[in-house]
A and B are shown apart, each in its own frame.
Chain A
Amino acid sequence: RGLLRRSVSHSFLSFASTTGACRAIQKLTRVRVVDNSALGNTSYHRPPKCIHVYNKTGVGKVGDTILLAIKGEKKKALIVGHKMPGPNMTPRFDSNNVVLIEDNGNPIGTRIKTPIPYILRQREGEFSKVLAIARNFV
């Protein structure tokens, strides 16, 4: 009691490295839902956060599926844009954008106003329904 906790750096901890800011989407990133679904647009006291990335690496880029925690529920989502700069000629967005999706790939919302990168068209088979509700492409 009353003793201050001092952070002791032992020699065996000196190799511990800290990763820099990832800026793509990984666990615990707050994302922005861009479709017009009720789940994405109603306000809640906690922002929607990513809890799992369906990827070999835990880092999600455009076109990856993630698990989102929204309003106390778990929902799958598709990443449609992130703050991390990608390959040249691809757009970089000012916010991490995500579209809510069901397990079979059907989007929950009916319209997507924000621009979607053209690269998603490459996997037309998996994302055909999401691309169908998208309005603008970049």
Chain B
Amino acid sequence: CRISSDGKPATFQPPPKPVIIDKQKQGEERRFLSPEFIPPRGRTDPLKFYIERKDMIQRRKVFNIPEFYVGSILAVTTANPYASEKASRFVGICIQRGGKGLGATFVLRNVIEDQGVEICYELYSPRIQAIEVLKLEKRLDDNLMYLRDALPEYSTFDVNMKPVSHLEHEEIPVNKLQVRMKPKPWSKRWERPKYNIKGIKFELPEEKMKEAQKWSKPWLEFDMLREYDTSKIEEKIWKEVNEELKK
């Protein structure tokens, strides 16, 4: 042991603790409230939504439902009495998230052996055993139903793909992919402004695009009766859900 300048043996001084400045947590924490928590606009008693939210939080405490958006690639294992090992796994891109409350659903699409398959899963169904997010990303649209009329390469995802790691504090990447379509006829007329799709590379002639604009309704964005501002409701529900989940 070292002798200090006085000549007496120095008492052990532990080294100063290193101060870890977690730069990741310093950034603003991203708030994500799953869209099925936000109640739809209507005249129903808020008590009904409160009771439903309690049940949803109860389910989330037991089973982890990760954050995902339309356009992220998920792998879902469900309990199936007719499957081998009693569980079946399906990998696909989320094309739509619908429903509110406990009946919230999401549709996964994939192309297996040149056959397009879509499965609509209920988020809060007890049959679901695991939901993994293989790739968390957003797309330019909220609804990717046009993938049914797009070339099959845009809906094929490897069943055994490895999960792509995503850091906590980073922004969710937006995939600005413009999808190429099969030749017309399509299941819906996606070029019309009603669908407001940004994620298709329309290779239609100019006259067709101009003709589609005939169905535009430019007055809709100024319609005040259609406005539904959810920011305050979201704040309240976010606080409520977070408190319950921390218990």
Contact = CB atoms under 8 A, between A and B. Distances in A.
Interface of A: 34, 81, 85, 88-95, 97, 113-115, 118-119, 121-122, 136-138
B105 A93 contact: no
Contacts of A121: 82-83
Given A94-B148, A97-B115, A138-B112, A119 B78 contact: no
B118 A122 contact: no
A138 B112 CA distance: 9
Contacts of B88: 118, 137-138
Question: Closest 4 interchain pairs by CB?
Answer: A94-B116, A121-B82, A118-B82, A114-B115
B90, B113, B114, B122: residue with the most chain A Cβ atoms closer than 10 Å: B113
A112 B90 CA distance: 19
A92 B109 CA distance: 9
Interface string B113-126: 11111111110010
A115 B119 CA distance: 13
B61 interface: no
A85 B113 contact: no
Given A118-B80, A119-B82, A138 B119 contact: yes
A88 B119 CA distance: 7
Contact of A113 (B113, B118, B120): B113
